């Protein structure tokens, strides 16, 4: 099992550019989560999907952020246009469809917007 796979590991982009982060969940996991980690705010839930359907996107900070899950094995988080305050580590996590069970996190994407 390769675990949750995120790409790229690092991304440096200029303010105003579009950024796309990618995630491949563990096969068979029905739930997928996107988190953002910063020193100031810790781990913040951005959005999550059950069976490829977005369930709660109340954590998405602005309309500049969007997420999709076109199939069970792939999800993207897009920021357009990016701003320096979006700089953070973005994590994807997946879990079986059963509630009250732990996640498996990916290694994260460190995003720097200059």
Partner 1 sequence: GENVEQHPSTLSVQEGDSAVIKCTYSDSASNYFPWYKQELGKGPQLIIDIRSNVGEKKDQRIAVTLNKTAKHFSLHITETQPEDSAVYFCAVPANQAGTALIFGKGTTLSVSS
Interface contacts to partner 1, rule CB under 8 A: 4, 31, 33, 42-43, 45, 48, 50, 55-56, 91, 93, 99-108
CA atoms within 13 A of residue 32's CA, in its CB half-sphere? 29
Give 70 or 102: the residue with its C-beta nearer to partner 1: 102
Give 81 or 110: the residue with its C-beta nearer to partner 1: 110
Give 1 or 101: the residue with its C-beta nearer to partner 1: 101
Contacts for 52-59: CB closer than 8 Å, 24+ residues apart = none
Whether the link from the prior residue into 81 is cis, omega within 30° of 0, is yes
CB of 16 to partner 1, least distance (A): 28
């Amino acid at each position: 099992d390769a675990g949750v796979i995120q790409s790229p590991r690092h991304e440096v982009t200029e303010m105003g550019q579009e950024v796309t982060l990618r995630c491949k969940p563990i096969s068979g996991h029905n739930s997928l989560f996107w988190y953002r980690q910063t020193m100031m705010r810790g781990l913040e839930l951005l959005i999550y999907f059950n069976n490829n359907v977005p369930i709660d996107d109340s954590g998405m900070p602005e309309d500049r952020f969007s997420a999709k899950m076109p199939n069970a094995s792939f999800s993207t988080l897009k920021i357009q246009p990016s701003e320096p305050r979006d700089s953070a580590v973005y994590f994807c996590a997946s879990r079986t469809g059963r509630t009250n069970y732990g996640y498996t996190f990916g290694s994260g994407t460190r995003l720097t917007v200059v």
